[in-house]
């Protein structure tokens, strides 16, 4: 069982506390994970910060996935909905509630204002992988 890559992306709006969200991302990802912050502009010229991280270090990625699973408030919801979060290429997609995230809680949320996580897995069925890591 192996994680090939873990990708994370979040959009931070001008009304949100950029430093606070970045600090929680660093806490989750550790300072070993690369982070790219890009500034894009909304319809009215307001800045939107797009933060992305792509982790190819398998040990680091596995450590982050285990941390997410162990801290996940609604783990049972993940296990019930795992089939809808998997694609045919061996990836599982998680959406973490951004407002809860900055409170230090990891909660799945299928809305739009989220921290998006993509986990690429090889060598094992993705559903089986999540069931083993997040049980």
Tens digits of residue pLDDT in 29-49: 988 899 999 999 999 999 999
Whose tokens are 């950029």? That residue is 18
Looking at residue 66, its pLDDT comes to 93
CA 50 – CA 6 distance, rounded (Å): 17
**CA angle at residue 105 from 104 to 111, to 5 degrees?**
120
Task: Give pTM, 2 decimals.
Answer: 0.92
Strands (E), the chain: 2-13, 36-41, 47-55, 91-97, 114-122
For 70-123, the pLDDT digits (tens) are: 999 999 999 999 999 999 888 999 999 999 998 989 999 999 999 999 999 987
CATH homologous superfamily of domain 2-133? Ribosomal protein L5 (3.30.1440.10)
């Amino acid at each position: 069982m192996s994680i090939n890559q873990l990708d994370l992306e979040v959009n931070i709006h001008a009304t949100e506390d950029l430093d606070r969200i970045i600090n929680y991302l660093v806490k989750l990802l550790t300072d070993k994970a690369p982070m790219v912050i890009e500034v894009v502009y909304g319809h009215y010229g307001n800045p939107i910060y797009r933060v992305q991280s792509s982790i190819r270090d398998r040990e680091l990625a596995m450590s982050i996935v285990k941390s997410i699973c162990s801290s996940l408030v609604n783990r049972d919801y993940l296990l019930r909905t795992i089939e809808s979060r998997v694609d045919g290429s061996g990836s599982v997609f998680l959406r973490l509630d951004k407002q809860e995230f900055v409170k230090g809680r990891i909660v799945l949320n299928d809305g739009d204002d989220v921290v998006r996580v993509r986990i690429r897995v090889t060598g094992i069925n993705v559903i089986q992988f999540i069931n083993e890591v997040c049980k």
